[in-house]
Amino acid sequence: MSLPHAILTALLEKPSSGLELTRRFDRSIGYFWSATHQQIYRELGKLEKAGLIRALPADSPTRGQRKEYEVLPSGRAELERWVEGRDEPRDPRDPLLLRLRATGVVGVGDGLISELRRHRELHAARLAEYREFQQRDAARGHGTERDRVHGLVLQGGIDLELFWVNWLDKAIDGLDRPEPAEQACGPTT
Amino acid sequence: MSLPHAILTALLEKPSSGLELTRRFDRSIGYFWSATHQQIYRELGKLEKAGLIRALPADSPTRGQRKEYEVLPSGRAELERWVEGRDEPRDPRDPLLLRLRATGVVGVGDGLISELRRHRELHAARLAEYREFQQRDAARGHGTERDRVHGLVLQGGIDLELFWVNWLDKAIDGLDRPEPAEQACGPTT
DNA sequence: CTTCATTGTGCAACTTGTTGCATAATGAAG
DNA sequence: CTTCATTATGCAACAAGTTGCACAATGAAG
């Protein structure tokens, strides 16, 4: 039940068309809640039918025509209600942890190790990207509440990527050398 | 495509019935990949039909009767294949981050702050639980590869909960006091 | 002015995950 | 021996998310 609210948030930040939303989901919001354009179009349709958003009057109402949406008061109310509610934490559901665990019974192979390395690099890249955002935001100053909230969310993204990079390093190291002995040699990379 | 492989892993660790699997999912594996009993039964049926597992011969094949499964060679092969493959990292998809972000446009309310606190405590509790597991495992020594792998996975769980607790502390603190000024007063808790 | 790539919108089918309920065996209480 | 709670298995309907494709407008190349 999060996608519609993610869309309401995005539309409140700036009225947009379906494809625009899709692009914005690829950036900021999508970093912790991705969505395909099909999901977004479908959800826009539902939200419009539910009277939470409306399409801005356009020239022609035909298909393949750009259609911009804005949030109606009832949509904002619904978002406020949802934000103030309660909701249990979800479990991580990351297949990589499962795959690592499976090596406990089928044995560790090279494929998984290189996969761990690959993921490490992907997370490191994303971490670098987030840190650029952070620096850019810090330069522009952050007076408004919205800026501070975005800063906290971004910090969450950074900390999460940090977790991944650090843990993957531990895991790669732990699988590479079977014995946790006191070999003081440097890393193989 | 992870649930069937999670089940194969669990069954290789120990042949079990549907309900037993459900219970084991509530513990170890379920901490990063939960599943309801219905999902598990359905998946067991599919795996059996696909010839990856088989039911151990039991007294009566009727309904409501305990039915234990074990993994067949083809099932183990499938698991090995899956472990060695590649797979992109998923995004976190946590509604709490979305909700926080939404406060950027609808404003911060008390509901969300207490929700952040509540989640902080839940994550802290889980963290404590994991650390108990870790101490217990350390006491029993960890010679086999499987023990080391489980240790790494558990470490992942611990680090992830640590991330949540620390980040939620930051977020609660950042929302409580609008200005990031140098007030040196202690925490309100 | 036709062909073709690009941008944008959308349907339909499928897979995955959730919820609610039905059924069967079992053993204990009345 | 009937009633009832418990344990265990499972169906069916739904909700959420993914994939593949179709269709419409637009503008540039031939």
Q: CB distance B153–A100 less than 8 Å?
A: yes
Report the phi/psi class of residue A93: left, alpha or beta, with left for phi > 0 and alpha for psi in -120 to 50: left
Give residue-wise pLDDT tens across range B18-46: 888 998 888 788 888 888 888 999 999 99
Question: Is the pLDDT reported for residue B185 higher than 90?
Answer: no
The pLDDT score that the predictor gives to residue A185 is 52
Residue B27: other Cβ atoms inside 10 A: 9
Whether the pLDDT of residue A88 is over 60: the answer is yes
pLDDT in tens, B112-143: 999 999 999 999 999 999 999 999 988 887 67
User: A-chain residues within 8 Å CB-CB of B99?
Assistant: 5, 82-83, 87
* β-bridge partners, A68: A17
Residue A188 predicted with pLDDT over 60 = no
Residue to substitute from B34, B53, B74, B103, interface A, most A β-carbons within 10 A: B103
**pLDDT at residue number B6:** 93
The per-residue pLDDT of chain B, averaged, comes to 86
With beta carbons less than 8 A apart as the criterion, state whether B52 and B71 touch.
Answer: yes
CA of B37 to C1' of C21 (A): 14
Terminal C-alpha separation, chain A: 44
Q: Which nucleotide is at minimal CA–C1' distance from A42? A: C10
Residue A71: the pLDDT is 93
What's the pLDDT at B58? Answer: 58
- Pairwise CA distance, residues B7 & B29, whole Å: 9
- Cβ of residue A86 closer than 8 Å to a chain B Cβ: yes
Contacts of B85 in chain A (CB under 8 A): 111, 115
Q: What percent of chain A has pLDDT over 70?
A: 88
Q: Strand C: which residues 54-83 of B lie within 7 A (CB)?
A: 60, 62-65
| pLDDT of res. A182 | 47
- State the nearest Cα–Cα gap between A118 and chain B, in angstroms: 9
Residue A167's pLDDT band (cuts 50, 70, 90):
very high
- Side-chain-side CA neighbours of A19 within 13 Å: the count stands at 4
With beta carbons under 8 A apart, name residues in chain B contacting A103. Answer: 83, 149
Number of A–B residue contacts, CB under 8 Å: 233
Judged against a pLDDT cut of 50, whether residue B183 lies above it is answered with no
Side-by-side strand order, sheet with B16-17: B16-17, B68-71, B53-55
When pLDDT is averaged across residues A103-114 and rounded to a whole number, the result is 90
Lowest mean pLDDT among A58-62, A93-97, B105-109: A58-62
A37 touches strand C (CB under 7 A): yes
Instruction: State which residue has its Cα closest to the C1' atom of D15.
Output: A1
Residue A189 has pLDDT above 70, yes or no: no
Which chain A residues are within 8 Å of B71, Cβ to Cβ? Answer: none
Tell me what the mean pLDDT of segment B169-177 comes to.
90
Residue B68: partners with Cβ closer than 8 Å, 6 or more residues away: B15, B16, B17, B20, B55, B56, B58
What is the per-residue pLDDT for B88? 87
List the one residue out of A114, A117, A122 whose CA is nearest residue A160. A122
Segment A119-147, tens digit of pLDDT: 999 999 999 999 999 999 888 876 788 88
pLDDT at A183 over 90: no
